[in-house]
């Protein structure tokens, strides 16, 4: 069981209601100044002026947050490159390319338009580790002390940021204009950051793309579209006669696929398809897939049958990536649609994942609807309980019920109870072979939690 005691940082940066603390202009300015000082201290001296790169999704509050945090960095003598509206993984790429102190993404990912967030990439293009986040969190609590004058950094646009990102993704599969020739793909861009880039990439690689939800207006991001509404891409595939579908979230670091029959694959199914194909072609290093504790146990069975294995990490793509780096593994992901092809990037990238999985599918010569059958899932029951406080889980009466369920399941299932890092929610997952029993237990456990800390 997990708990959270941080004030600002959750599982993926700082997130909340835009224009409400801590996502105000005043605090964003403070964040930029504090982060600028921290990364200047952590970066060895060298030639050239220090810089950061900032990208964002198209939600309306991105403008003022971008301006404020950019001003904070510039006030510390740091040059700020504005990449504009661009997928989150493009910021990771640009951070490495520019030799930046850090990369900053202003996005609330799959959340509605009235939320926003701030997340960081280190100079290596990876999300910050816990120690750096904790140091930044501590410094945000302290007032800034200025002494004398300080240099001033410029705030400038980053030319052709999207175009060069598109070229980099295409280069990862050989930039072959016939790779997806003859393939008709429905694309749901979630009115988000990928509204131009994903279509361009697929078309360069030869696909015929029918693009939907690609006209962001600042408030329609994720609105009844995108990968949090998988039923949308299912309808789009069936209605358009597409061969398959791709759906993103608002900042395009996630994706889900829809097969030829108009049925969405979840992240576990996509990981199973990709990992088994990579074992066959010898590109899954150590025959190991990294998944999270949320992934279905059927994934383990599928990999073991093919001579592979699954290593599990905590929820959050940065934890998956940390496990991949520690073990030198090449592929990992989450049920939610984050996938990391480590040979092609340092973070979850929705269009890189889509292109790589489709490449593997084309190589197999099989339909996606057939390939997905490699995974037989254990029944799962999941519940979300809105909470008024995130009290230590071990202190809840419901904790005793969790232990009872675990004892009954033995080795043929598991229980996972954790707080969301981005919302006031407690998430419950029970997995076992008896579907009705785990549904009943999930209801009972959710009711206990609601009675204690429901809000």
Residue 147: pLDDT band by 50, 70, 90 thresholds? Answer: low
The pTM assigned to this predicted structure is 0.87
Evaluate if residue 4 carries a pLDDT over 60. Answer: no
What CATH number does residue 197 fall under? 3.40.120.10
Which positions ≥6 away from 432 have C-beta within 8 Å? 378, 379, 409, 412, 413, 414, 438
Catalytic site includes residue 107: no
pLDDT number for residue 45: 61
Instruction: Give the pLDDT mean for 86-107.
Output: 97
- Among 122, 144, 159, identify where a domain stops: 159
- 39 falls within a domain: yes
**342 against 12, higher pLDDT:** 342
- Among 262, 284, 310, identify where a domain stops: 262
CA–CA gap between residue 405 and residue 392 (Å, rounded): 19
Instruction: Give the pLDDT mean for 438-443.
Output: 96
Average pLDDT, the chain: 93
Please give the structure tokens belonging to residue 332. Answer: 């990992």
Instruction: Give the pLDDT mean for 27-35.
Output: 97
Query: Do 189 and 218 have their domain in common?
Result: yes
pLDDT number for residue 109: 95
Query: Do 43 and 136 have their domain in common?
Result: yes
pLDDT number for residue 43: 84
Percent of the chain residues past pLDDT 70, beyond the cut:
97
- If one counts the domains in the chain, the total is 4
- 4 falls within a domain: no
Query: Do 300 and 243 have their domain in common?
Result: no
Measured at the alpha carbon of residue 274, what is the angle toward residues 271 and 278, in degrees to the nearest 5?
130
Evaluate if residue 329 carries a pLDDT over 80. Answer: yes
Catalytic-role residue among 61, 109, 200, 336: 109
Least confident of 143-147, 237-241, 273-277, 289-293: 143-147
Query: Do 145 and 255 have their domain in common?
Result: no
CA–CA gap between residue 331 and residue 339 (Å, rounded): 8
Residue 148 lies in domain: 9-159
Query: Do 207 and 100 have their domain in common?
Result: no
Query: Do 122 and 175 have their domain in common?
Result: no
- Among 374, 396, 415, identify where a domain stops: 374
pLDDT number for residue 151: 85
Burial of 26 (0-12, 13-18, 19+ CB in 10 A): exposed
What are the tens digits of pLDDT across the range 222-239? 999 999 999 999 999 999
Query: Do 302 and 360 have their domain in common?
Result: yes
CA–CA gap between residue 238 and residue 259 (Å, rounded): 10
Instruction: Give the pLDDT mean for 306-328.
Output: 94
CA–CA gap between residue 364 and residue 411 (Å, rounded): 35
Instruction: Give the pLDDT mean for 138-147.
Output: 81
Query: Do 14 and 155 have their domain in common?
Result: yes
Instruction: Give the pLDDT mean for 238-248.
Output: 97
Evaluate if residue 186 carries a pLDDT over 60. Answer: yes
Query: Do 282 and 194 have their domain in common?
Result: no
- 3 falls within a domain: no
Query: Do 146 and 168 have their domain in common?
Result: no
């Amino acid at each position: 069981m997990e708990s959270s005691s941080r004030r600002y940082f959750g599982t993926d940066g700082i997130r909340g209601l835009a224009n409400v603390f801590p996502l105000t202009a005043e605090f964003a300015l403070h964040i930029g100044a504090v982060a600028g000082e921290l990364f200047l201290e952590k970066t060895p001296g060298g030639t050239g002026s220090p810089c950061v790169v900032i990208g964002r999704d198209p939600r309306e509050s991105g403008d003022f947050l971008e301006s404020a945090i950019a001003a904070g960095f510039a006030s510390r003598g740091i040059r700020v490159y504005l990449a504009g509206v661009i997928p989150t993984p493009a910021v990771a790429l640009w951070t490495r390319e520019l030799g930046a102190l850090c990369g900053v993404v202003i996005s609330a990912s799959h959340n509605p338009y009235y939320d926003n967030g701030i997340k960081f990439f280190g100079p290596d293009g990876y999300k910050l580790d816990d120690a750096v986040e904790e140091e930044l969190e501590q410094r945000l609590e302290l007032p800034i002390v200025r002494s004398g004058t300080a240099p001033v950094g410029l705030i400038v646009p980053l030319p052709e940021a999207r175009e060069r990102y598109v070229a980099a993704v295409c280069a990862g599969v050989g930039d072959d204009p016939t790779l997806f020739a003859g393939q008709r793909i429905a694309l749901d861009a979630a009115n988000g950051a990928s509204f131009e880039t994903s279509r361009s990439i697929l078309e360069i690689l030869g696909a015929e793309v029918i693009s939907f939800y690609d006209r962001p207006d600042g408030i329609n991001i994720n609105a009844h579209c995108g990968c949090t509404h998988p039923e949308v891409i299912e309808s789009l595939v069936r209605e358009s006669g597409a061969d398959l579908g791709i759906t993103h979230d608002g900042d395009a670091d996630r994706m889900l696929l829809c097969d030829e029959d108009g049925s969405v694959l979840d992240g576990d199914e996509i990981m199973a398809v990709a990992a088994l194909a990579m074992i066959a072609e010898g590109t899954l290093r150590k025959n190991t897939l990294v998944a999270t504790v949320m992934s279905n146990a059927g994934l383990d069975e599928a990999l073991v049958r093919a001579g592979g294995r699954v290593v599990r990490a905590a929820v959050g793509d940065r934890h998956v990536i940390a496990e991949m780096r520690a073990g030198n593994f090449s592929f990992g992901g989450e049920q939610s649609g984050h996938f990391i092809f480590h040979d092609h990037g340092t973070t979850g990238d929705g269009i890189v994942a889509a292109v790589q999985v489709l490449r593997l599918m084309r190589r197999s010569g099989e339909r996606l609807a057939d390939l997905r059958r490699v995974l037989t899932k254990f029944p799962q029951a999941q519940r979300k309980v809105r909470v008024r406080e995130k009290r230590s889980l071990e202190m809840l009466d419901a904790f005793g019920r969790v232990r009872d369920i675990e004892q009954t399941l033995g080795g043929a299932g598991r229980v996972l109870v954790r707080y969301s890092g981005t919302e006031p929610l407690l998430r419950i997952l029970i997995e076992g072979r008896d579907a009705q029993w785990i549904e009943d237990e999930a209801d009972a456990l959710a009711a206990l939690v609601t009675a204690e800390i429901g809000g």
